[in-house]
A and B are shown apart, each in its own frame.
Chain A
Amino acid sequence: MTATAVPVRPLKGREPRPQRFREMSSQVGWGVLAWVVGIAFFLPVLWMVLTAFKPESAAQTWPPKFTFSPTLAEFRLVFSGWGPFVTHSVIATAVSTLLVLLLGVPASYALSVHPVKNWRDGLFFFISTKMLPIVAAIGPLYVIALKTHLLDSIWLLIILYTAMNLPLAIWMIRSFMLEVPKELLEAARLDGAGRIREISGVILPIISPGLVSTALICVIFAWNELFLALNLTVTNAATMPMFLISSVPQEGLYLAHLSAAAVVASIPVILVGWIAQRSLVRGLSMGAIK
């Protein structure tokens, strides 16, 4: 007997042509759209960086110039003037972020892991402080600062930035703490860990990537904050955003100087974000459960 083999039709190429074409063209379409959106978002930033290297004359032209002879003159100007501004910014941002973390962790703990009796009300109260427009609060804040002799003081900024960022930090840290498996906390309880050890030995190590991202958000907000700094400081606590504004005087636009200053002002935050990104990406995968 001869055995007849049944021919097997190959699967490749069996898809109807119009279907494949539609799939491919939709992929290409999305790709193009992604590029367009990306470029649209990045173009202003790119433009700012380019302008920073232009001499002032070239910066003011219309239509805008893409070719020019680059110069570091504007950067030199920026670096010569930025000293006190950057110092104040760094101090205000760093100290306020530190305070936010120091205060936020216990607060979040009291609202998540071992909730206090009226934790819902407490949580809402925190968020409600963000509902007030800062413009409405500036008057009273000015008066208080005046009376307490804190006007134009770095400590005023630190206090205000801490208060500004704390609600957000508490919400974020709380959500991270809620992700800690309950069994882990019970195991720690059985092992004899008191409250402090529970937080420091068990909870903090697990949520540390979350803490980093919270700190990053606080740094960004504190560093870029303008309204409070503008209204409540003059020279002794003036921050980087104010330095940027000083490049926008009444009589005319110093675009190149402004761009250079903006680039320099952005770099620290971008750097912090870059460093933090690695620790964020390290991931929250755990081997504790299963």
Chain B
Amino acid sequence: MAQVKFVSASRVYAKNAPPAVSALDLDVKDGEFMVLVGPSGSGKTTALRMLAGLEPLDGGRVEIGDRDVTFVPPKDRDIAMVFQNYALYPQKTVAENMGFALKMAGVHKDERARRVREAARLLDLDDQLLNRKPKALSGGQRQRVAMGRAIVREPKVFLMDEPLSNLDAKLRVQTRSQIAELQRRLEITTVYVTHDQVEAMTMGHRVAVLAGGLLQQVDTPRHLYDNPVNQFVAGFIGSPAMNLQTVPLAEGGARIAGTTLPLPPAVRTAASRADLKELVLGIRPEHLHVANGSGELTGSGNLAGSRELTGEVLLIEELGADALLHVRLAESGNLVVARTEGRVSLSPGQKVTFRVRPEDVFAFHPVTGARLAG
């Protein structure tokens, strides 16, 4: 059993500064791929290092399996870590790098060699690379050696600190799926830190979003996307980001771009209970359906009950399969980004109309950012 538990774990650096990690409560199930995602300074790397034993805890505890490892030194936690900059020993060969931990543990030379070869095979590392030094390897190869070093130890938990951030874009996409595949095969509990929400969405069984040292939401990627619990998560997950606009409340809904978008009764009740005059509306780019000149709709889906928003096109970004329209909405002048399929016949300066379904609209508290009646 190798589940991981953060129980009210805290880390404070300076006495009067806000905590780097503030009372984190997180459960990672056995064999799960948990991604910690968040912007710089969110505490995700600190949390990982607390799990590794490289940072002491200032409060709470950390458990691996059923064992409280808060005061256990890193080497006795039965974990392996892949560092952002790989941290390969420069004077050792690839084989020696991968076998170092086993050597420290007193594993016999033959057994070491066998496990190194096996890990190399798993990672598609040629035999001839085993005798090279790190400086003779490409970035992608070094990254795989760093992973091999972790795999060889057959630990209870894998810890990965932004292992893809030093790879070029194409290699990143390729390696991303390889890591996910590897984890599925090995079934080892993995805690993976990244600032890239695409990695988070594609790799994790569950994703924990952190900001400012606080856990915002932990859920499957799908639920994070469909049901963000606050404005931060809504704006962080999904690319291009959700359009977030502060809009005034009106009779029966919210006023935006010359129309009143109806809001569900639960939202309206929550807003009036909190005495709100305005709130933050969130609409994902793909939920702004472009109506072309003749009133027909591009894209699929039943748009019954949808409302129309008008605006002026500022910029069109063509991505090949889809296009992003940067639009200034009428009346309020808010900027939104809409995604449409295929080619658009619009050009900057033209008027454009969107249709939006009320059920695709999220409402957040303008001050706290909490989702209203989610």
* B142-A186 in contact (CB<8A): no
Contact with B along A168-201 (1 / 0, CB 8 A): 0000000000000101101111111100010001
Kindly identify, within residues 268 to 290 of chain A, every residue whose CB is under 8 Å from any CB belonging to chain B: 285-290
Question: Is the C-beta of A122 less than 8 angstroms from some C-beta in chain B?
Answer: no
Could you say which residues of chain B place their CB within 8 Å of the CB of A206?
90-91
Kindly identify, within residues 143 to 169 of chain B, every residue whose CB is under 8 Å from any CB belonging to chain A: 149, 166
Interchain nearest-CB distance for B102 vs A (Å):
9
From the candidates A197, A201, A289, name the one contacting B86 in the complex (CB within 8 A).
A289
Most buried by A among B84, B87, B88: B87
Question: Is the C-beta of B136 less than 8 angstroms from some C-beta in chain A?
Answer: yes
* B105-A202 in contact (CB<8A): no
Interchain nearest-CB distance for B78 vs A (Å):
11
From the candidates B87, B101, B105, B149, name the one contacting A181 in the complex (CB within 8 A).
B87
Question: Is the C-beta of B139 less than 8 angstroms from some C-beta in chain A?
Answer: yes
Question: Is the C-beta of B104 less than 8 angstroms from some C-beta in chain A?
Answer: yes
Could you say which residues of chain A place their CB within 8 Å of the CB of B232?
none
Question: Is the C-beta of A81 less than 8 angstroms from some C-beta in chain B?
Answer: no
Contact with A along B234-257 (1 / 0, CB 8 A): 000000000000000000000000
Which residue of chain B has the shortest Cβ distance to A190 in the bound complex?
B74
Kindly identify, within residues 70 to 125 of chain B, every residue whose CB is under 8 Å from any CB belonging to chain A: 73-75, 79-81, 83-92, 100-101, 104-105
* B81-A287 in contact (CB<8A): no
* A187-B81 in contact (CB<8A): yes
* B87-A288 in contact (CB<8A): yes
Q: How long is the Cα–Cα vector from A197 to B139 in the complex, in angstroms?
A: 27
Interchain nearest-CB distance for B145 vs A (Å):
10
* A286-B75 in contact (CB<8A): no
Interface residue count on the A side (C-beta < 8 Å): 22
Kindly identify, within residues 259 to 281 of chain B, every residue whose CB is under 8 Å from any CB belonging to chain A: none
Interchain nearest-CB distance for A192 vs B (Å):
4
Interface residue count on the B side (C-beta < 8 Å): 32
* A287-B75 in contact (CB<8A): no
Assess A287 versus B87: contact at CB under 8 Å? Given A189-B54, A192-B101. Answer: no
Interchain nearest-CB distance for A132 vs B (Å):
39
Question: Is the C-beta of B171 less than 8 angstroms from some C-beta in chain A?
Answer: no
Question: Is the C-beta of B137 less than 8 angstroms from some C-beta in chain A?
Answer: yes
Question: Is the C-beta of B201 less than 8 angstroms from some C-beta in chain A?
Answer: no
Q: How long is the Cα–Cα vector from A184 to B85 in the complex, in angstroms?
A: 9
Q: How long is the Cα–Cα vector from A252 to B86 in the complex, in angstroms?
A: 68
Interchain nearest-CB distance for B94 vs A (Å):
10
Interchain nearest-CB distance for A289 vs B (Å):
5
Interchain nearest-CB distance for B257 vs A (Å):
48
Kindly identify, within residues 61 to 104 of chain A, every residue whose CB is under 8 Å from any CB belonging to chain B: none
* B87-A201 in contact (CB<8A): no
Q: How long is the Cα–Cα vector from A193 to B76 in the complex, in angstroms?
A: 11
Question: Is the C-beta of B285 less than 8 angstroms from some C-beta in chain A?
Answer: no
Interchain nearest-CB distance for A203 vs B (Å):
10
* A187-B90 in contact (CB<8A): no
Question: Is the C-beta of B172 less than 8 angstroms from some C-beta in chain A?
Answer: no
* A191-B101 in contact (CB<8A): yes
Q: How long is the Cα–Cα vector from A190 to B159 in the complex, in angstroms?
A: 11
* B142-A191 in contact (CB<8A): no
* B85-A205 in contact (CB<8A): no
From the candidates A183, A202, A286, name the one contacting B83 in the complex (CB within 8 A).
A183
* A286-B135 in contact (CB<8A): yes
Could you say which residues of chain A place their CB within 8 Å of the CB of B47?
none
Could you say which residues of chain B place their CB within 8 Å of the CB of A188?
89, 100
Which residue of chain B has the shortest Cβ distance to A286 in the bound complex?
B90
* A290-B100 in contact (CB<8A): no
Could you say which residues of chain A place their CB within 8 Å of the CB of B54?
186, 189-190
* B75-A189 in contact (CB<8A): yes
Which residue of chain A has the shortest Cβ distance to B81 in the bound complex?
A190
Q: How long is the Cα–Cα vector from A286 to B89 in the complex, in angstroms?
A: 9
Q: How long is the Cα–Cα vector from A234 to B310 in the complex, in angstroms?
A: 102
From the candidates B101, B133, B136, B166, name the one contacting A290 in the complex (CB within 8 A).
B166
Q: How long is the Cα–Cα vector from A201 to B149 in the complex, in angstroms?
A: 16
Could you say which residues of chain B place their CB within 8 Å of the CB of A186?
54, 81, 83, 87
Could you say which residues of chain B place their CB within 8 Å of the CB of A189?
54, 73-75
Question: Is the C-beta of B52 less than 8 angstroms from some C-beta in chain A?
Answer: yes
In the complex, besides A286-B135, A289-B85, 10 extra interface pairs with C-beta distance below 8 angstroms are: A181-B85, A184-B87, A187-B81, A189-B73, A192-B105, A193-B104, A205-B89, A206-B90, A287-B90, A288-B90
A-B contact pairs, 25 of them (CB 8 A): A181-B85, A181-B87, A184-B89, A186-B54, A186-B83, A187-B83, A188-B89, A188-B100, A189-B73, A190-B74, A192-B101, A193-B104, A201-B89, A202-B89, A205-B91, A205-B92, A285-B135, A286-B134, A287-B88, A287-B135, A287-B137, A287-B142, A290-B86, A290-B142, A290-B166
Binding site for A on B (CB under 8 A): 52-54, 73-75, 79-81, 83-92, 100-101, 104-105, 133-137, 139, 142, 149, 166
